[in-house]
Structure 1
Amino acid sequence: MPTQISASVQTALLIRFRAVRSATLQLCSPLTPEDMMVQSCPEASPAKWHLAHTTWFFETFILRDFLPGYTPFHPDFLWLFNSYYNSLGDMPEKKLRASFSRPPLESILAYRAHVDTAIEHLLAGSLDEEAIRRMALGFEHEQQHQELIATDIKHALFTNPLHPAYIEASQPAGEGNATPLTWTSLTPPVPGLVEIGITPDPTAPDAFAFDNETPRHTVFLRPFALANRLTTCAEYLAFINDNGYTRPELWLSEGWSTQRAEGWQAPLYWQRDAASPTGWRIYTMHGFAPLPESGGLADTPVCHLSFFEADAFARWSGARLPTEFEWEYAASSLSTRIAKQNLLSTTSGSQPVTANFIETGTLHPTVAPQVPGLQQIFGDTWEWTASGYTGYPGYKPLPGALGEYNGKFMSSQIILRGGSCVTPATHIRATYRNFFPPATRWQFSGLRLAKDA
């Protein structure tokens, strides 16, 4: 039965809802209507579709179930902006999303306004705990799509022959020199059993974790070491110059076949440039920038790598990629230490305010600071791990159509951790599990080396 939530919870939900919805529109503000129609690769969707689909999510899973008398904006939108929820019926093929010239952008914006008004009306009254949980999921879902808008529009503008910038650079792509690469040893408590994942608090329906982060469970870890920072462009260039893309002994079989078939010679967005000191330039959301031999852009984390490239680089380095459990153990330990120093200011207590997230406006990985200890655990680039995407022991997907959100993708995917420079700061946490097929390169994905201690 609906219950009257406290005024403080109502206010917090309303503030979060407005902030998330406003951030999406702000992200699209530099774009023209023509920009918002482009779908430049199979993984991407047009920005206009993202605006509609995130609105569809609130309408479909919250308003239709919890606001009596709600009138849908348009009957065709239920199927037109469905992404992959087969239990809700048919939907257009993903590759056709760029053909949605109708409904026009003004209709999509009117759809958002219609749903936003209804959500605010819902939040003003009695609210079922399940509705609160779905609101929290809706916030996180829209933040995922904010990141996708950034990655998708970067690819769309890059494929334009003019290579226009998303916005002009407010600051250089990279400044200074990265801290030297060192190793941080981590020794789990004897006998090596650590707790991974999260068990949501049933008394706090507005607290959030995706179902694939649950349940909390025990894993065994041996002592290991992590690189103190992410791998840089200069370090990856050394791999390229050492014929890393032509040495099959460095590559997994599928990775070798894939890179040969695709003609990969460098990360996505790297182009040959005779005028550059290294012979390369890199496309960023601020346009192309030459890759220097050291310092600046050369010392920023390399990104837009596939898992196959990250794994090959790790082998070439005489190291390996961390497992997702090693990564989470390190990140959780770091988050706890930072929290004790009062350097965290988020409701989940799991992300450093100093990390390079989308709120910084850099929209590109930045140089690791010259300070000791683990750096860039959160933000800058998603970190490929050595772990396949499967359910934790005892995993249960959400009931109903929302069970399709994560569980049905637990096949042929690799886990990434930590967030990136286009991830919203309040969206990430130490237990967050991102996942993509191993050949994926359009995301801001990089790597951190690991080794046995």
Structure 2
Amino acid sequence: MPQLDVAPVAPVAATPWLARYHAVRAQSTALCAPLLPEDTVVQPMLDVSPPKWHLAHTTWFWETFLLKEYAASYQLFHPDYAFLFNSYYNSLGSRVNRADRGTLSRPPLADVLAYRAHVDEALSALLNERADELPAAFFELLELGLQHEQQHQELLATDIKYILSTSPLAPEYLPATELPAPITHAAPGAWLPVPGGINRIGFQEEEGFCFDNELGVHEVLIAPFELQNRLVTNAEYIAFIEAGGYRDFRYWMGEGWDLAQAQGWEAPLYWVQKDGQWHRFTHHGLQPVDGAAPVTHVSFYEADAYANWAGARLPTEAEWETAARHFGATPAEGTWLESSRLDPQPLPADADPTQCHQLLGDCWEWTYSAYHAYPGYARAAGALGEYNGKFMVNQLVLRGGSCATPESHIRVSYRNFFHADKRWQFTGIRLAR
């Protein structure tokens, strides 16, 4: 199994594990509750998976890695579901191609929900009846399964947004009446010094969970630098647009410039002009762009071009983590999935300019670092060795979590990764120099 940095697990009462398991599982189905059954089948691009598939795949994960291994009497819900809902585990056999997930009109959503109930019942029985007999390895897998489902909750939130955005009707996922009053003035940006030196990077907590790509801890020499105290706002990004940022190749990577021209990029994903004003598609339908809110849904190429235009740069992954530890970043200030706001929130104008804000939550922050293994990394044997290691090529690291990330899922050492052109996640910009 993966190299998980988990505190030794002593035999525990099943109740705390079961309560957490059911809370995580309920969050996934709650995210899909506002959808029509027809919404759950749509796959408008390769990066997006149908919500119905997410619900089934996370259930397949529990069935495959825990119930089949540890519940001797467990009966598969359906013998073909392993083919339908395996994601990318070559070790576990053939599967439906990723691009074809939207063709799965069958099984219907009702059957997928019945599948979830079947697995939930079996795992609950296993924990209730045998919790004191199960080995530590089971609870490590249980923790991994919970974290895995939380990853898919973030994907559900962002995939649902993209799916609904492709409808000419611009439907609301959540009522616009639930929107908070806008903040008309953002906190001013300020540059904060971060001291240089030799810093430890990677998962450093004494106990708790991390993914294997956060290991092992290693030392990095960091030169002194400055970091902006908040995320770049929509108003600041509009200034880049109006200054011709999308029409001036000097700010862009060559590959990014070619892509922006070929695809006609003029603004972040979801932005459209309406009556002379920028609007953007949100989970609340089409809404005016809030100038004080952090800009989001930008690719690495756009983030880098903006930084060049602003006379700054993006931080490296090691700089970002060094700064987050230096400023004592905690999730308390951020906007998370549990808030149901599903949009990065403006920093109030009276926020302390001497503190670094929005490091955790609101937007994933692009870094100028390739996603690769830390020193000493080795893929685990077996199927779960495919979880992270095989993706360590041609991608950039993002840090900090977003408004679609479950709060209990994040930590300072968490490493997200995407290709440079991706825009459908809540990706934003923080400047360094």
- Structure-2-length-normalised TM-score: 0.94
Structure 2: how far apart are the matches of 1:142 and 1:231? 30
2:172 maps to which residue? 165
From 346, 357, 380, the counterpart of 1:367: 346
The reply to whether residue 147 of structure 1 matches residue 157 of structure 2 is no
Structure 1: how far apart are the matches of 2:179 and 2:257? 37
Deviations 1:1-50 (A, max 9, x none): xx994445x33221211110011111111011011111112100000000
- What amino acid is aligned across from residue 286 of structure 1 in structure 2? H
Alignment of 1:417-436 (within 5 A): 417-436=399-418
Q: Is the 8 A contact 1:173 1:364 kept in 2?
A: no
Q: Is the 8 A contact 1:379 1:419 kept in 2?
A: yes
C-alpha displacement of 1:175: 2.2
Structure 1: how far apart are the matches of 2:211 and 2:365? 19
- What amino acid is aligned across from residue 340 of structure 2 in structure 1? G
Q: Which runs of 5+ in 2 are unaligned?
A: 1-7
From 118, 121, 129, the counterpart of 1:117: 121
- What amino acid is aligned across from residue 351 of structure 2 in structure 1? V
- What amino acid is aligned across from residue 283 of structure 1 in structure 2? F
- What amino acid is aligned across from residue 101 of structure 2 in structure 1? R
1:17 maps to which residue? 21
Distance 1:304 1:173, change over 3 A: farther
Structure 1: how far apart are the matches of 2:431 and 2:9? 50
Deviations 1:295-350 (A, max 9, x none): xx111000000000000000000000001111111222333xx6xxxxxxxxxxxx
C-alpha displacement of 1:176: 3.5
Structure 1: how far apart are the matches of 2:138 and 2:327? 33
Identical amino acids, percent of aligned pairs: 50
From 283, 286, 302, the counterpart of 1:285: 283
The reply to whether residue 237 of structure 1 matches residue 238 of structure 2 is yes
Structure 2: how far apart are the matches of 1:196 and 1:433? 11
Q: Which range moved further: 365-374 or 101-110?
A: 365-374
C-alpha displacement of 1:416: 0.4
SS at match of 1:268: coil
Structure 2: how far apart are the matches of 1:12 and 1:197? 28
The reply to whether residue 332 of structure 1 matches residue 325 of structure 2 is yes
Deviations 1:92-138 (A, max 9, x none): 11111111111111110111011111111222212111111111111
Distance 1:180 1:199, change over 3 A: closer
Distance 1:180 1:4, change over 3 A: closer
SS at match of 1:55: helix
Q: Which range moved further: 110-119 or 174-183?
A: 174-183
Structure 2: how far apart are the matches of 1:14 and 1:360? 23
1:358 maps to which residue? 337
SS at match of 2:31: helix
- What amino acid is aligned across from residue 416 of structure 1 in structure 2? L
Q: Is the 8 A contact 1:186 1:225 kept in 2?
A: yes
SS at match of 1:283: strand
SS at match of 2:405: coil
Q: Is the 8 A contact 1:173 1:366 kept in 2?
A: no
Q: Is the 8 A contact 2:331 2:361 kept in 1?
A: no
Deviations 1:243-265 (A, max 9, x none): 10111111111111111111111
Structure 2: how far apart are the matches of 1:13 and 1:211? 22
Q: Is the 8 A contact 2:227 2:431 kept in 1?
A: yes
| Cα RMSD after superposing both structures | 1.6
The total of aligned residue pairs comes to 419
- What amino acid is aligned across from residue 91 of structure 1 in structure 2? R
Structure 1: how far apart are the matches of 2:9 and 2:358? 42
Q: Is the 8 A contact 1:319 1:449 kept in 2?
A: yes
Q: Which range moved further: 299-308 or 126-135?
A: 126-135
Q: Is the 8 A contact 1:200 1:209 kept in 2?
A: no
Q: Is the 8 A contact 1:173 1:362 kept in 2?
A: no
Q: Is the 8 A contact 2:194 2:326 kept in 1?
A: no
C-alpha displacement of 1:224: 1.0
From 83, 91, 105, the counterpart of 1:87: 91
C-alpha displacement of 1:200: 7.4
The reply to whether residue 193 of structure 1 matches residue 193 of structure 2 is no
- What amino acid is aligned across from residue 280 of structure 2 in structure 1? I
The reply to whether residue 406 of structure 1 matches residue 388 of structure 2 is yes
Deviations 1:265-286 (A, max 9, x none): 110000011242xxx1111111
- What amino acid is aligned across from residue 246 of structure 1 in structure 2? R
SS at match of 1:415: strand
C-alpha displacement of 1:173: 7.1
SS at match of 2:227: strand
C-alpha displacement of 1:230: 0.3
Structure 1: how far apart are the matches of 2:182 and 2:148? 30
SS at match of 2:37: coil
- What amino acid is aligned across from residue 331 of structure 2 in structure 1? P
1:345 maps to which residue? none
Structure 1: how far apart are the matches of 2:165 and 2:84? 28
1:221 maps to which residue? 222
Q: Is the 8 A contact 1:236 1:313 kept in 2?
A: yes
SS at match of 2:368: strand
SS at match of 1:195: strand
Structure 2: how far apart are the matches of 1:186 and 1:225? 6
The reply to whether residue 311 of structure 1 matches residue 304 of structure 2 is yes
Structure 1: how far apart are the matches of 2:268 and 2:181? 17
C-alpha displacement of 1:414: 0.4
